[in-house]
Amino acid sequence: MEKATFGAGCFWGVEAAFRELKGVLSTSVGFMGGTLKNPTYKDVCSHTTGHAEVVQVEYDPSQVTYEELLNTFWEIHDPTTLNRQGPDVGSQYRSAIFYHTPEQQAAVIASKEKLEASGKYKRPIVTEITPASEYYLAEDYHQQYLEKRGLASCHIA
């Protein structure tokens, strides 16, 4: 089992998209990339902690590759908008990949370069690529939020 951590806007829809992939064993939503220890959702929404809303994915690399996870990440959001996805605005909604290993870092850079070279976007990709830091689990009511409401197959993008 391996871990991958992605920020692509509001974590509810991002989590639902990753949960649909074969080989994804579990997901959770939380916060990464900030300065406050043990932030709450309210803390993160105050725009003072520096955290991003993220989904942490645990996956079986024999069933789904990290590159496939990256493809899903790029497909489910707009990586050219800084600190915003759709109607959600703020640094907590930034496009971000938090890599856990040097191999993930290399894969992220290669994937981003390939996407940039494809010409799919007219604007530059602003996705933050940084080492994974302390992960803080969001409150329970955020976990599998869309599934709990019968909306699990909704995609963002």
Residue 63 within a domain: yes
What local confidence, expressed as pLDDT, does residue 156 receive?
Answer: 42
Model confidence pLDDT, tens digit, residues 124-143: 999 999 999 999 998 877 77
Report whether pLDDT(147) > 90.
Answer: no
Residue 23 within a domain: yes
Mean pLDDT of 7-33: 94
Say how many domains are in the chain: 1
Residue 54 within a domain: yes
What local confidence, expressed as pLDDT, does residue 139 receive?
Answer: 80
Domain of residue 17 covers 2-148
Residue 35 within a domain: yes
Residue 100 within a domain: yes
Residue 66 within a domain: yes
Residue 155 within a domain: no
Model confidence pLDDT, tens digit, residues 38-86: 999 999 999 999 999 999 999 999 999 999 999 999 999 999 999 999 8
Percent of the chain exceeding pLDDT 70 equals: 92
Residue 13 within a domain: yes
CA distances, 154 to each of 16, 45, 75, 102, 144 (Å): 7, 23, 14, 32, 12
Mean pLDDT of 135-157: 68
Report whether pLDDT(146) > 80.
Answer: no
> Hey, what are 121's tokens?
């976007």
Q: What is the CATH number of the domain that holds 29?
A: 3.30.1060.10
Report whether pLDDT(152) > 90.
Answer: no
Separation CA 93–CA 91 (nearest Å): 5
Percent of the chain exceeding pLDDT 90 equals: 83
Could you give the residue numbers annotated as active site? 10
- The pTM for the full model equals 0.90
- Sorting pLDDT into bands at 50, 70 and 90, what band is 157? very low
- Sorting pLDDT into bands at 50, 70 and 90, what band is 151? low
